[in-house]
Amino acid sequence: MALAGIRVIELAGLAPAPFCGMILADFGASVIRVDRTKAAMALDTQARGKRSVALNLKTPEGVGILKKLCVQSDVVLEPYRKGLLSRLGRHGDKPYSPLNLVADFAGGGLTCAFGIVLALLERTRSGQGQVIDASMVEGAAYVGSFIWKSRAIGMWERGRGQNMLDSGAPFYDTYRTADGKHVAVGAIEPQFYLQLLRGLGLDVADLPPQMSPDGWPELKRVFEGCFATKTQAEWSRIFDGTDACVTPVLSFDQVSSHPHNKERGSFVRDRGEEESPRPAPVLSRTPADPCLDRDPRIGQHTREVLEEYGFKSHDVERLLAAGAIEHNVPEAKL
């Protein structure tokens, strides 16, 4: 397979990193998942093809083993906040996701790009090319591996809109604020949930159990009433700097000016003063350098490209005269 011989160390986490590790394992990489010692059970539902080692990373010995594994591997996957690994040893009118991200872009474009990279990598060993068959339907299903596999542990046994991650759970939903805007809530883990309740001024003893679906309708009504008492800006000030997983739902015009995105430089502005997301992921040594020119006119580079590929000037003129090609010079911006 394309990644045969590639060694991957995956520090156990949730959803994105395990999915990435599964992809690499699926294409032949040797993926070692580093689990915590004394963990009750593995929460990785995307462990296909992986192997597991359990390390106590709170001990110098555990850290030393991890370092040895890493320096003898090709890839390290870590799902933590940036910089944490380096410190080891020390319904209604709510906003909805634009779901064509799943098929068109994630299931289609992204998996196609990934397939191309795999084929290029494999070509360095075999010297041969290959066809990448990137089906959007199959790619979307693959991206949804977490959903498919999580049915076995009861996460998707209820009807649509009644499960934990599809707005059924009151602690994983969006809420209208006093000014008609919205905030997003994603406080699944108990420690985050308690901070959510603290910010809302609620006592856990007065509420239904967090993980009891029978109590979710009542809990959702309580949350709706609370969030409706303050504006989005007021809730942002309350929850900023906490791990309550409460964030404002931003408009397109607000996204690039959000402090998090400004700090990371997550958006770039082209010469036409239009903003767009910068390429991701960010590579430490060879990062992307996106072109900031205006989008080309149709046929803007016909002549230079053909000449670059060996066509003589008279050949280009002949093809232009025959109507076989078109060359359009952009209008000058004075």
Chain-centre distance for alpha carbon 139: 15
3-state secondary structure the chain: CCCCCCEEEEECCCCHHHHHHHHHHHCCCEEEEEEECCCCCCCCCCCCCEEEEEECCCCHHHHHHHHHHHHCCCEEECCCCCCCHHHCCCCCCCCCCCCHHHHHHHHHHHHHHHHHHHHHHHHHHHCCCCCCCCCHHHHHHHHCHHHHHHHHHCCCCCCCCCCCCCCCCCCEEEEECCCCCEEEEECCCHHHHHHHHHHHCCCHHHCCCCCCHHHHHHHHHHHHHHHCCCCHHHHHHHHCCCCCCEEECCCHHHHCCCHHHHHHCCEEECCCCCEEECCCCCCCCCCCCCCCCCCCCCCCCHHHHHHHCCCCHHHHHHHHHCCCCCCCCCCCCC
The catalytic residue positions are 104
- For residue 86, what are its two tokens? 């380096």
